[in-house]
Amino acid sequence: MDTDNLLLKAEGAVAEQLGAPAVDGPRVSAPRPTEQDTVVVLDFGSQTSQLIVRRVRELGVYCELLPYDTPIGEIEQLKPAAFILSGGPASVYEPGAPQLPPYVLGSGVPVLGICYGMQLLTRAFGGRVEPAAQREYGPANLHRVTDSPLLDGFEGDFPVWMSHGDRVADLPEGFEALAASPNAPTAAMGKGSVLGIQFHPEVAHTPRGAEILSNFLFGVAGLRPTWSTLSFIETAIEQVRSAVGDGRVLCGLSGGVDSAVAAALVHRAVGDRLTCLFVDNGLLRRGEAEQVVETFGRHMKMNLVAVDAQERFLAALEGVADPEEKRKRIGNTFIRVFEEGAARLGRFDFLAQGTVYPDVIESASPERPAAQRIKTHHNVGGLPADLRFKLVEPLRYLFKDEVRQVGLELGLPEEIVWRHPFPGPGLAVRLLGPVSRERLDTLRAADAIMQEELQRADLMRDTWQAFTVLLPVRSVGVMGDNRTYADAVAIRAVTSVDGMTADWAKLPYEVLGRMSSRIVNEVAGVNRVVYDITSKPPATIEWE
């Protein structure tokens, strides 16, 4: 993956763009609902660990994902009411394989081991794990062999998703097999509130997975479903308020979802003591700068300072065609403009930023190679010494869909909440070749048509990103009786879960047709439209 592409965070949280200490800086407010039942998922490196957390939260129980070797002190702060052990790629007997931390069984709270997690439990209780004669990947049919609260409501066969090479050969003493599959006589096991399952209840391919997790959370562990984005908002507001006290908070708005929701939440908590700074770099889509001012300034009545820095960015970009050079110049200009803007607004004690949970998980877990990160914490420059703030990160424990939900509940308009990710360097990296005001205007006009048609066809939410790219190519056309020799525009639309991999979106031909004919008819200087049908990899989502 082209990690250099990711110098600026996808939705442009300002502190990251500024190089504020994203990981080790003083952090004051990252609300955790400590009074609620909390489940800790220990991550042994499975690709689906995050999904376990999401499923548990969907069931109304607050849940966090922590690396398996998290120090006990950090775990204790969360007062876990149950543990779930994730799957993982290792084999429990392998030298150096991640081990079960002693506090899990020592705590006496219910434990559910999934796949590798179940094998760890087997070993911890004196059972035996061995390589299965036949690896089992994909769908399998299970049948219950004993009544148990974990499988309450399950009769006959039920399909699950398996992905394992090892299996439980001898059950530990006192454990019972609860379910079996053709390749795994122990596909589920348990003793009291310590349970193991060989399959993955968190994936969509286990259709009744949520029921099994629900049986564990409520039937076995007796937890209460008190977590929701509404309860989160209440806790977050209280915590931000008490952390900020009489202090002043600065928030950089980029127009993206994360910074918008963070600002809205902090505004609810501290009102006028929040000031939002919005830098109009002239590289935004049509109407975006106006919408930020309208929504946050007029509608939500926040203290909003919009800095028009279009000329400065254009000057910095003059004649620059190289994508990385564009990024560098945009990053540096941004820091300077933001710094100057902030300095004019007086002293601030806090900087609010829209860090979201996947950023936190990815920077915390040594199991996940940097190459897999979509939002890197690479910075574009150091935060100047006199710009040291404490961070307020109210969304630090939320997934993107939860952030959107919070945004809606706080009254943000749908167009902001459902906005596609937009790169920090904006249209500069969607305009191949040198940046100029004229070419930006051409691209903006084409892009606006594409967005309009996408919205009209109600396809915004079916695509991860959809945009136009102005190519450094001219081609021959004919308009009326005249020959044209004009620019070509590419339409890029992708589907994706997290931006790490993507497929080109199969937009209906009629929609593509309307986009194309409107662009060539309405945008002066464009006579050809092409559709990009490459997936990522091997291409990246952006063209630069």
Neighbours of 510 (CB within 10 A): 10
Determine contact, residues 117/44, Cβ cutoff 8 Å: yes
For the CB of residue 433, give the shortest distance to ligand XMP in the complex, in Å: 17
Instruction: Tell me how far, at minimum, the Cβ of 496 lies from ligand XMP, in Å.
Output: 8
Q: Which of 18, 86, 9 is nearest to 333 (CA)?
A: 18
3-class SS letters over 338-395: HHHHHHHCCCCCEEECCCCHHHHHHHHCCCCCHHHCCCCCCCCCCCCHHHCCEEECCC
182 vs 143: CA distance, rounded Å: 9
- Which position has the token pair 């993955």? 200
Q: Which is nearer to ligand XMP, 494 or 523 (CB)?
A: 494
Indicate the residue among 29 and 465 with the shorter CB distance to ligand XMP.
Answer: 465
Nearer CB in complex with ligand XMP: 167/492: 492
Comparing C-alpha atoms, which of 416, 133, 124, 422 is closest to residue 281? 422
3-state secondary structure of 460: coil
164 classed as catalytic: no
Least distance between ligand XMP and beta carbon 375 (Å): 8
CB of 501 to ligand XMP, least distance (A): 9
Nearer to ligand XMP, 9 or 200 (CB): 9
Interface contacts to ligand XMP, rule CB under 6 A: 2, 5-10, 12, 327, 421, 423-425, 465, 499, 536, 540-542
**Of 29 and 379, CB closest to ligand XMP:** 379
For ligand XMP, the closer of residues 6 and 217 by Cβ is 6
Q: What angle do CA 140, 146, 147 make, to 5 degrees?
A: 110
* Distance between CA atoms of residues 38 and 32, nearest Å: 10
> Whole-angstrom Cα distance, residue 531 to residue 362?
33
63, 115, 251, 276: which is the annotated catalytic residue? 115
Nearer to ligand XMP, 7 or 240 (CB): 7
Between 400-409 and 257-270, two packed helices, what is the crossing angle to 10 degrees?
Answer: 50
> Which bin fits 115, alpha (ψ -120 to 50), beta or left (φ > 0)?
left
Does residue 115 have an active-site annotation?
yes
Of 16, 64, 164, 200, the active-site residue reads 200
Active site residue 200: yes
CA angle 251, 299, 405 (to 5 degrees): 70
Paired tokens of 525: 């200087």
Closest to ligand XMP by CB, 6 or 150: 6
Q: What DSSP letter does each residue of 97-163 carry, written as one string? A: -----HHHHHT-S-EEEETHHHHHHHHHTT-EEEEEEEEEEEEEEEEE-S--GGGTT--SEEEEEEE
Residues with Cβ within 8 Å of residue 150, at least 6 apart in sequence: 112, 178, 188, 190, 195, 197, 212, 215, 216, 219, 220
CB of 426 to ligand XMP, least distance (A): 9
Q: Which entry of 11, 202, 367, 402 is annotated as an active-site residue?
A: 202
Q: What are 208's two structure tokens?
A: 């009744």
CB of 544 to ligand XMP, least distance (A): 8
Strand partners, 142: 158
- Dihedral-angle region of residue 24 (phi above 0 means left; psi in -120 to 50 means alpha; beta otherwise): alpha
Which residues are the active-site residues?
A: 115, 200, 202
